[in-house]
Amino acid sequence: MIIRTGKEVRFLDEMDRQRYLAHDPEFSRIIRYWLFDAMPDSRTRPNHRVLDGGIAPMDWPGWFTCAPPLGEGCRCTLVGITGRRREALLGTGHYFDLTAGIPEGAGLDPGYVRPAHSIYNDPVR
């Protein structure tokens, strides 16, 4: 469910936010990229951490394997950014273009299946 009051949009959970940003035409005209954001602590699994700082277009097919949740209790998120922001972030050297190659070991936890309502469920399955 999405709660929208005036100019402010609130989301009840991460899936709401993803669904909204990916499908709202007004947002998607400006916010064209996802930035993968992993929690910077020791609980973050290696296959999640390697994606931290990765940027790709929202319609990049690789998100089907790289978008959170990547496992039970995954705390990773996607942040919607503009093309200008993407360029600035890539210029710092601390971020990377996911479309140039998915980091080795990245992806879903072994055996993990995303919740049925995730927009990044593999359409083939």
The residues of the shown chain that bind Zn ion, judged by CB under 5 A, are 48, 70, 74, 76
β-pairing verdict for 33-37 and 77-81: antiparallel
- Cα separation, 73 vs 38, whole angstroms: 12
Output 43 or 125, the one with its CB closest to Zn ion: 43
Nearer to Zn ion, 50 or 76 (CB): 76
Residues ≥6 apart with Cβ < 8 Å to 32: 57, 58, 81, 82, 83, 86
Smallest separation (angstroms) from Zn ion to the CB of 34: 14
Indicate the residue type of 55: I
Shortest Å distance, C-beta 122 to Zn ion = 18
Q: Which is nearer to Zn ion, 28 or 103 (CB)?
A: 103
- In whole angstroms, the minimum distance from the beta carbon of 82 to Zn ion comes to 24
